[in-house]
Chains A and B, each alone.
Chain A
Amino acid sequence: MLSRSVFEIEEFMMQHVPGQNQGKITLYALSTCGWCEKTKKFLDNLGAEYSYVYVDLLQSDQKQAAVNEVRRWNPRCSFPTVVINDEVCVVGYNEQEIKKAIGI
């Protein structure tokens, strides 16, 4: 059932932004946070394909599922958290680290 809940996060909560395929990029953000917004704008300007979710806007069950997912990568559950290729996690607004992780 665990894998199903992860699947649900990916399929139903995420907003997809089309763009160039630079690998799988997932942004966990808060709609009220300035650093999350800067991270999102950075990804937009890169022109990369990515998915994002505003965790604060989710209903309670989905919010808990998203929090659990963020915690797997970033135990402090801070935002923004960017997960790249299900491998690397970049915490906070950090252009260099994101670029490094997607190899550009």
Chain B
Amino acid sequence: MRKMRVAKEDVLKLYQRLNDEAEASGYHLNPDIEFTKELIRGLLTNEQRYGYWACPCRLASGAREEDLDIVCPCDYRDHDLTEYDQCYCALYVSEKVVRGEKTTGSIPERRGTTQEKAKAGSSSKAISELSFPVWRCRVCGYLCARETPPEICPICKARRERFEKFI
């Protein structure tokens, strides 16, 4: 496979777009802008190669269906943000990293550990058998089903401590 050419302007444009979207919904791009731009160049390269934004730090199969879980933002981003203050490739980081209280690095690959679990839990179940707890933002009522509430509510920007366990 040949190396793809991605224009500098396209990288900058997507960087700005992703940064605006991230900040508007309670996420943060990695403040190491040069590193971040290279990841974004990787996303655009993968878009040219495969037709979708496969994670730049994972080997894509080339079949979108097989790679859905690693299309950026990947299924593992929020879990990794909670546990490691960054996603796998470190395009997204936590507030701690933005404030300089934590540095980024290589983190363990989560893919393959939770994938099976997520697939197994897709059928309808009684409330007592839910695969994830449901969290409610006390400020705006936003509901989400995941291990822990998000760092910041993506709707109203309330912080994690404003969430309560709903189910």
Contacts and interface: CB of A to CB of B under 8 A. Distances in A.
Contacts of B106: 35, 80, 91-94
A49 interface: no
Nearest to A94: B106
Interface in B31-67: 35, 38-39, 41-43, 45-46, 56-60
B105 A67 contact: no
B105 A93 contact: yes
Contacts of B1: 56-59
Interface residues of B, number: 25
Contact of A78 (B35, B42, B43, B58): B58
Nearest to B44: A32
* A interface, over-half SS: loop
A67 B60 CA distance: 12
A19 B56 CA distance: 29
B107 A57 contact: no
A23 interface: no
A56 B57 contact: no
Contacts of B112: 76
B59 A67 contact: yes
A61 B26 CA distance: 42
Interface of B: 1-3, 35, 38-39, 41-43, 45-46, 56-60, 89-90, 105-109, 111-112
Given A30-B59, A35-B106, 4 more contacts: A33-B57, A36-B57, A80-B106, A93-B105
Interface of A: 30-37, 55-59, 67, 76-80, 91-94
